[in-house]
Amino acid sequence: MPSSRPVDRLRDVIDNCEAILEYTQGMSLQTYSGDRKTKDAVERCLSRISEAAYKLGDYLDATYSDVDWKGARGIGNLLRHQYDKIGDSDIWDAVCHDIPLLLKSALVEVIRLEGS
C-alpha cells in the first residue's frame, strides 16, 4: 500500500462517491446533461476519487476484482487531458454503475482495515 494513510484515502473515496450520488439523486442522463453545475461538481468529485485511488495504489484491484479501481485511478487523467472526448453518457454510466461499486468496496475495506 503506497499511501501511509489508506483509511484516510478510502474515506476520501467514500465522501466523494456519496456526494456524487447525492448530487445526481433523481436525475436522468437528460437532466444531468442539462445541469452544468452538477456536471462540474461530479467531475470534481471524480477527480478527487481518482487522486485518492492513485495514492492507494493497486492493492485493491485483486481484492475487489469486480470493481474498476484501475479506472478510478485513471479517470483523473482522462478528465484533465481528454476532457473533450468524454461525453455526458460516459460520466453518467460511471455514476450509475461504477460509483456504487467503488463506494461499497471502500466501505468494506475501511471496516477490514480498522478491524486489523
Contact call for residues 24 and 99 (beta carbons, < 8 A): no
Q: What is the pLDDT of residues 15-50, one digit of tens each?
A: 999 999 999 999 999 999 999 999 999 999 999 999
Instruction: Give the C-alpha separation, 1 to 41, whole Å.
Output: 29
Task: Count how many Cα atoms sit within 13 Å of the Cα of residue 47 in the half-sphere of its side chain.
Answer: 11
Percent above pLDDT 70 for the chain: 96
In the chain, domain spans: 6-115
Provide the pLDDT for residue 66: 96
**Is 60 exceeded by the pLDDT of residue 5?**
yes
